[in-house]
Structure 1
Amino acid sequence: MTVTLILITLYALSIMLFCLATQRLPILSRDALHRVSSLDGLRGVLATAVIVHHFIVSYYWHVNGVWETTDSRVLNNMGTVPVSLFFMITGYLFTAKVYRSEPKWRQILSSRVRRIFPMYLFSVALITAIALYQSAGVSAPIMETLKALGRWVIFIGSPINGFPETVRVNASVQWTLLYEAVFYLSLPVLYCLLRRRLPGLAVAVALITLACLWGEYHHHFHNRFIKLFAVGIAVAVFEERMRQWRIDFKGVRCTLTAIAILLICMKLKSYSTLQMLILGIPFALFVLGNSLHGVLEVRGLKILGEASFSIYLLHGIVIYSLFSLLNVYDFASSDTVSYLLYLPLIILLTSSLSVATYWCIEHPFLRRKPSDADPA
């Protein structure tokens, strides 16, 4: 319990410090600056919360030699709840895109490729460099290495140059992109169900691509995560009806309801059906305008929200680099508290690097006319 409280306190202080430090810096894009959406700030909270989860998991991995969840449901759910809400955000945004307007399938495909692959491939390059450095002196067959890299490209982690800990370099976060990819490829089918129209070419391309990938994907795909996308889909479909309810979604009652359910979810079993379903309540409130009494509209959180994809991809690499490459901490020491004090450094370093990679790598590929802007 003490470890959990210390980590949560350090996490909150780190986020507050980042928000204060970036309050006046011009590092928020024009679109994000003028966009009124609780989801922007929410992304920032979610991405940085995952850092806390992998930070403590990494500690026990170094101490016990096993990568597994901790005894604290709260710390475990600092990884689970953000991933769940990220899936809901994807389900909501892209269902709204195909449900409320006539989608341009080529444009959607292009936007997803430009949104995901530049930063993801950069992270894979870093992982590859670290794996090759850690396995110096070992020379795996070139075809084996190329196959491993190919699996990384389709979001399946694999040892590079025979280095068994390759998936630990980025905390194996690429697994969630596999589910995102399946959802994106399912959008034409979802469109058929919701709009009762058949975009023949889009459906054919999507199904053929899924069929080609499924030989690899079915080993890693679990149906339970479909529920999270389904919650996002439901919110998108029923959003207009919910907005007609005589409820002040931005008011104190809804804020307290969202906070209470989020706290309950932090104590529930990770990825349980109950947790997945009731998380839909605060998520729907955020979509309908609740910002936790203005917290999710804080400029610093919106900056973190813009850089959330980079944060998600890079935080594991930062943790691994500091503790496995540079060996900045002696894990033979019994002084756990001294390790916990590294959390602010990890959060601030990852956030700063991620803001830089967002502007240098992500943003150049995302720039386009306002009418073509991505929802995510």
Structure 2
Amino acid sequence: MQFFPIDALYLFLVLVLCIGLAAILLKRAQFLPSEIIQRASPLDGLRGILALSVLAHHFYITYVWKTVGEWKKPEFILINNFGGTAVSLFFLITGYLFINKMMQVDINWKQLYLSRIKRIYPLYIAAFIFIFVITLLNVEINSANFGALLKWVSDWLLFKGGSFEGFESGLIIAGVSWTLAYEWKFYFSLPIIYCIYHKKIPLTLSIIIIAALFFYIFKEKSHYYYALFVLSIPAIKLKQQFKKFMCEYPHTTNVIVITLSLFSLFFTEPYTFSQMIPLAIIFGFIANGYNFFGVLYHNGLRILGEVSYSIYLIHGAVLYFFFSILNVIDFNNISLHSYYLFFPIIFSIVVLLSIFTYKFIESPFLRKKATQSKVDHSLVINR
């Protein structure tokens, strides 16, 4: 891994400029619903930055894929962390919101899970329809592989993704569905967390269940992702300590958060504990009000945060459509720096399309949920 290559810094600067310009242009947009406007949380602005960082991550990987022929993680640690730190913070946000909710005594479980389905599935189904169509245009369906097709469809509906008849369907959306699978596994563990926290089951049974969960988790190859949900707990349990520290030592807080942010981005590998721990500390401050000198409260960033799930889920489809279907670039005759010139265009298309999909696919289900069920706003903030 390379730490300070100029190629990575160029993309970093282009990303920052694009996010800044988009936030300024969206600042006065009458876009946010009233319940979001009334909610003052730095997490709203953070989510937009994270989703767009993942876009930059996959924008670079697309160049490597088209020039080298392999979809692989970047050799530049900074660009690799555009994706890694963003996903880690998304998992921390999920853990924070839902573990926090598990501490409430009365929970409407039916509404909780319906809210998750309505939040995630409408846009996911729309994205899968695009995947399905592109796949069928590239693979001939016959009686011999029809059963495999049904299995492939069911895998996608369960967020497993996967190729079909050698066609790499997952690359159509840059392979982002894997994170949704981990989030759903976490959602299914919530009743267990609730029962253990509120002592609804005997201590012996709690220990057995926890041991079984650890066995299941560590049996998985990528078990370390689950640690990010757990690492959100300090932001909840140490809430008053974080707030008191920020109030009494504001300058020290700035130094800690900025230093740990730079350290995480430039000097650590994604999903390692050397990165997870600093990110958990950073997140603890942000979840309890730290806002990077007010930046995370910027209305433009909050709008980007509101459409962050759309950005996250459809940016890969935009990359695939322009660079694999329309083939707008001859990758045999373009340098990486020249390729970067296309990033603002792709960025703009992704943001505009995300606003459209949010308004016409996501929002109808979110608003219906909010008005009919009066669900806690914390269930809407999650990506």
What TM-score, normalized by structure 1, do the two folds share?
0.90
Match of 1:107 among 108, 111, 136: 111
Do structure 1's residue 37 and structure 2's residue 41 form an aligned pair? yes
Answer whether contact 1:45 1:304 (CA < 8 A) is retained: yes
Following superposition, the deviation at residue 2 of structure 1 comes to 2.0
In 2, Cα distance between the equivalents of 1:156 and 1:294? 39
Do structure 1's residue 235 and structure 2's residue 235 form an aligned pair? yes
- Cα deviation per residue 1:257-289 (whole Å; 9 max; x = unaligned)? 212111101121221111111111110000110
- How is 1:1-376 mapped onto 2 (pairs within 5 angstroms)? 1-135=5-139, 137=140, 139=142, 141-160=145-164, 162-198=165-201, 222-243=222-243, 245-248=244-247, 251-266=250-265, 267-367=267-367, 368-369=370-371, 371-375=374-378, 376=382
Following superposition, the deviation at residue 227 of structure 1 comes to 1.1
Answer whether contact 1:131 1:163 (CA < 8 A) is retained: no
Answer whether contact 1:315 1:350 (CA < 8 A) is retained: yes
In 1, Cα distance between the equivalents of 2:332 and 2:248? 51
Q: How many residues align?
A: 361
In 1, Cα distance between the equivalents of 2:160 and 2:133? 17
- Coordinate RMSD, CA, aligned: 2.4
Following superposition, the deviation at residue 34 of structure 1 comes to 2.0
Following superposition, the deviation at residue 113 of structure 1 comes to 0.8
Answer whether contact 1:250 1:289 (CA < 8 A) is retained: no
Query: Structure 1 306/101 Cα, relative in aligned 2: closer, same or farther at 3 Å?
Result: farther
Answer whether contact 1:92 1:234 (CA < 8 A) is retained: no
In 1, Cα distance between the equivalents of 2:222 and 2:27? 41
Following superposition, the deviation at residue 330 of structure 1 comes to 0.7
Answer whether contact 1:43 1:86 (CA < 8 A) is retained: yes
Query: Structure 1 64/219 Cα, relative in aligned 2: closer, same or farther at 3 Å?
Result: farther
Answer whether contact 2:18 2:347 (CA < 8 A) is retained: yes
**Identity within the alignment, %:** 35
Query: Structure 1 10/242 Cα, relative in aligned 2: closer, same or farther at 3 Å?
Result: closer
Following superposition, the deviation at residue 353 of structure 1 comes to 0.7
What TM-score, normalized by structure 2, do the two folds share?
0.88
Tell me the SS of whatever aligns to 1:327: coil
**Gaps in structure 1 of 5+ consecutive residues:** none
**Gaps in structure 2 of 5+ consecutive residues:** none
In 1, Cα distance between the equivalents of 2:377 and 2:220? 28
Following superposition, the deviation at residue 133 of structure 1 comes to 2.3
Mean alpha-carbon deviation: is it higher for 234-243 or for 296-305? 234-243
Following superposition, the deviation at residue 128 of structure 1 comes to 1.1
In 2, Cα distance between the equivalents of 1:72 and 1:125? 33
